[in-house]
A and B are shown apart, each in its own frame.
Chain A
Amino acid sequence: MLAFDNLTLGYDRHPVVHHLHGEVGHGALLALIGPNGAGKSTLLKSIAGELPPIEGCIRRHDPAPDGFAYLPQQAALDPAFPISVADLVAMGLWRHLGLFGSLGRGGRRRLEEALAQVGLSGFERRPIGTLSGGQLQRARFARLLLQDAPLILLDEPYAAVDAQTVDDMAALVRRWHAEGRTVIAVLHDLDHVRNHYPEALLLAREAIARGPVGDVLTNANLVRARRLAEAFDEHAPVCHRHPEAA
């Protein structure tokens, strides 16, 4: 599905993701873990096409290379805007609707189903500003459902939501996995990762470990990740690492 080839991402020429190699297979369910500042969100942002690489590239192998659904961290959304839950969620159908298309009967049915699946039936006409944090996150998941994408990118989807919401959303993620979609999720709750994700990538600027969750989430790896992520040097020397040597 995705291949990282000597991928270096960063801001102001300081790398946040450094010479990353690897592949994500079709239908993978991959947890992206690591300390704060390890480059997890940056990697997702770049997969979503929002941040061009400093070096290297991300390649996509699949029939619909544009098709992805991206859930950024929640702060990106303005809850004070006067828009209803139904209108916000319906925008998941943007690829079908474009600027002018109307929902039609099929679209309305899919919208109702998506809202029902995240437990927001009856909230259609509520302004998004009246939702709780967890309800707003459910609405954003409903929008992801409607996007119907082969690749789904989740950036800290469970930050600041309650246990019930986590369980309900995790069930959706399992279903996406069962449907053969590729899911990459940035997560901090390691117990959740152990219980729900077959594979993990532990990132601390460089890939510390990659593979089955049990092999990745070892104490030695986690300690190493923490040490590497903290080592930021404003006056770091220029990196001359050769692509093949990495």
Chain B
Amino acid sequence: MIEHWLIEPFLDFAFMRRAFAGGLALSLGAAPIGVFLMLRHMSLAGDAIAHAILPGAAIGYLLAGLSLPAMTGGGLVAGLAVALIAGGVARVTQLREDVSLSAVYLISLAAGVMIISLSGSSVDLMNVLFGNVLALDDGTLLLLAGISTATLLALAVGYRALVLECVDPAFLRSVSRASPVAHFGFLVLLVLNLVAGFHALGTLMAVGMMILPAACARLWHQDLAPMLASAVGCAVAGTLAGLLLSFHAGLPSGPAIVLSLGALYLLSLLASPVGGFARRLRPRWHYTS
């Protein structure tokens, strides 16, 4: 019975297996990026950059139709441009990163909606905004797998510099030239993973695969390494639950995945004895020192 519910959809339908493979790849790359995004106090910045990908993907779509390289390339260029311009503006002008990012992404988003509505139908817009995890073709799957592989390798190489750039950037600058590399390298990884997420979940919800698992993991752990592992686990569980929910209840898959992650987040908020509400229910005795 349980087997029938949990396993058979994946055995019987190739599109479910593909969707799960794509979700797994996305989880491995996006969830750790989400943890660092959260720890850098940039959760909303991730959201902004995700929106900024829209015009690039739209222009790619207009030029080449539903073509993977065109839409991916367009999204990458737009996302990187917004992230780097915003980062650069923050480094050389009076504006702080949040303001400059909001300004640039709003311009980009408006341009994207304008481009799409000038020459496309609303079905296309829906596809770009909400993605379609149940229709991943070979090329897209390879792209997702490639991006998550590159992300994990880059994180393995730059882990120490990135951690230090988050916790004490002034110290990193005083001992090494790695600070700007870590800062901008991280933005590049962020954009890459948002582009991967946009193929599966659309530009609006791509960032859900980053922030929700990260927030869950933060609620359960005090140390970074287990936090990263937990975030990946949470993202995989949410993908699985969302796909099954969407399959059995006939719901759209992208929102089902993000809502499943949201359910895990709510559960963590309530139940985690480390950072959640359950902490308040601990017995009232205390230690001597």
Contact = CB atoms under 8 A, between A and B. Distances in A.
A141 to B, nearest CB: 13
Contacts of B221: 82
Contacts of B39: 80-82
A94 B223 contact: no
B153 interface: no
Interface string B210-240: 0000000010011110010000000000000
B168 interface: yes
B139 to A, nearest CB: 34
Interface in A62-87: 68-70, 72, 76-78, 80-84
A182 interface: no
A106 B124 CA distance: 61
A83 B163 contact: yes
Nearest to B94: A12
Interface stretch (B170-178, B184-192, B243-251): B170-178
A108 interface: no
Contacts of B161: 99
Given A70-B174, A94-B175, A147-B175, A83 B160 contact: no
A119 interface: no
Interface of B: 39, 157-158, 160-161, 163-164, 166-171, 173-176, 178, 218, 221-224, 227
A84 B175 contact: no
A95 interface: yes
Interface in A144-166: 147
Contact of A68 (B168, B174, B223, B224): B174
A127 B167 contact: no
Contact of A99 (B160, B168, B169): B160
Q: What 7 pairs across the A-B complex have the smallest Cβ distances?
A: A76-B170, A81-B167, A70-B174, A94-B175, A72-B170, A77-B168, A82-B224
A50 interface: yes
Contacts of B173: 50
B164 A91 contact: yes
Given A82-B224, A127-B222, A95 B175 contact: yes
Contacts of B175: 91, 94-95, 147
Interface residues of A, number: 26
11 contacts: A49-B174, A50-B170, A69-B174, A70-B171, A72-B174, A76-B169, A77-B170, A80-B39, A81-B166, A91-B164, A97-B160
Given A99-B157, A99-B160, A127-B222, A83 B174 contact: no
A228 interface: no
A68 B174 CA distance: 8
B176 A127 contact: no
A127 B168 contact: no
A72 B175 CA distance: 13
Nearest to A143: B171
A72 B164 CA distance: 15
Contacts of A49: 174
A195 B227 CA distance: 47
B158 A76 contact: no
Contacts of A82: 39, 218, 221-224, 227
Given A94-B176, A99-B161, A83 B171 contact: no
Contacts of B227: 82
A84 B223 contact: yes
A147 B176 CA distance: 12
B276 to A, nearest CB: 16
A65 to B, nearest CB: 14
Contacts of B224: 82-83
A201 interface: no
A28 B213 CA distance: 52
A48 interface: yes
B167 A83 contact: yes
A97 B175 CA distance: 11
Contacts of B160: 91, 97, 99-100
A70 B160 CA distance: 19
A157 to B, nearest CB: 14
A207 interface: no
Given A94-B164, A99-B161, 16 more contacts: A48-B174, A70-B171, A72-B174, A76-B168, A76-B169, A76-B171, A82-B218, A82-B221, A91-B160, A91-B171, A94-B175, A94-B176, A95-B175, A99-B157, A100-B160, A127-B222
A120 interface: no
Contacts of B218: 82
Contacts of A68: 174
A88 interface: yes
A70 B169 CA distance: 12
A68 B175 CA distance: 8
A138 to B, nearest CB: 15
A82 B217 CA distance: 12
A142 B185 CA distance: 30
